[in-house]
Amino acid sequence: MAFGWNLEPGSPVFFGMKEAQEGIFLDSWKIPTENEEDISRCITEAVNLFGKPDLGLHDLSQVMINSWETALPHVHHKVCQFHLTSDIGEGLYKVPQETLALY
């Protein structure tokens, strides 16, 4: 499973990777911004250190989808359930809260 946080557009990103079944944190990188080239490189480095995974989990970002397909084109990947439900929840929560804040 891979994950990253980007607080501001164009800001440095912490990109970390963990083993999903046991939750063991494998490695982390600080990259200039969330981009396909750097994330693909991080995924490739992790594969070189820990071996090719059977499956990848990631957020809904197109950057993550493209990075995974570049680094591991023949390894199945899908959206992490946590990221999916949090994105759905944010969409259900954010707009109504912003609307209420106007009054």
What pLDDT is recorded for position 1? 46
Q: Tens digits of per-residue pLDDT, 43-74? A: 999 999 999 999 998 888 899 999 999 999 99
Flag whether the pTM goes above 0.75: no
What pLDDT is recorded for position 6? 45
Give Cα separations from 67 to 10, 12, 30, 42, 55 (angstroms): 18, 17, 16, 9, 14
Tell me which residue range forms the domain holding 77.
2-101
What pLDDT is recorded for position 30? 93
d(CA 76, CA 97): 37
In this predicted structure, the answer to whether residue 89 has a pLDDT above a threshold of 90 is no
In this predicted structure, the answer to whether residue 2 has a pLDDT above a threshold of 70 is no
- Per the prediction, the chain carries an average pLDDT of 84
The total of structural domains in the chain comes to 1
Cβ neighbours for 34, distance < 8 A, ≥ 6 positions apart: 4, 6, 13, 15, 61, 63
What pLDDT is recorded for position 9? 63
What pLDDT is recorded for position 33? 87
Closest Cα to residue 53, out of 76, 85, 33? Answer: 76
